[in-house]
Amino acid sequence: MPAYIATLTSKGQMTLPAEVRRALNLEAGDEIEIYTDHLGEFRLRPLTSGPLDFLQGVPPKKPRADLATDDEGIAVAVASRNTRPLARKAAE
């Protein structure tokens, strides 16, 4: 894949080359997420355009209010999974 160059303005803004905008299906006003991968390299991905556009209008799942963190949610799921076989054996 070819490399593309974008130049920063004095305000820290840049213009993505037209080839990149076309490849990512970006239009004016679209948002782009910039993140670091597991190697510490910067990556970007479109947030408002792309192959999942058909999901627009689908309401997101509501987070469970009783779980403050992902760790608590995982602990609840593991605990319920671990107790099911015990409950089944106790019923027999």
Over residues 17-70, the pLDDT tens digits come to 999 888 888 888 888 889 998 999 998 888 874 555 555 555 555 666 665 666
Tell whether the model's pLDDT for residue 73 goes beyond 70.
no
User: Domain holding 38: CATH number?
Assistant: 2.10.260.10
Please indicate, yes or no, whether residues 47 and 12 belong to a single structural domain of this protein.
yes
Question: Is residue 32 within 8 Å of 26, Cβ to Cβ?
Answer: yes
Question: What domain range is 45 assigned to?
Answer: 1-58
Task: Please give the pLDDT value at position 12.
Answer: 93
Please indicate, yes or no, whether residues 65 and 30 belong to a single structural domain of this protein.
no
Please indicate, yes or no, whether residues 50 and 69 belong to a single structural domain of this protein.
no
Category of 15 on φ-ψ map: left (φ > 0), alpha (ψ -120 to 50) or beta: beta
Task: Please give the pLDDT value at position 22.
Answer: 87
In the structure encoding, which two tokens stand for residue 51, read together?
A: 């192959």
- State the total domains in the chain: 2
Question: Is residue 42 within 8 Å of 34, Cβ to Cβ?
Answer: yes
Task: Please give the pLDDT value at position 29.
Answer: 86
| pTM above threshold 0.85 | no
Please indicate, yes or no, whether residues 54 and 73 belong to a single structural domain of this protein.
no
13 falls in which pLDDT band (50, 70, 90)?
very high
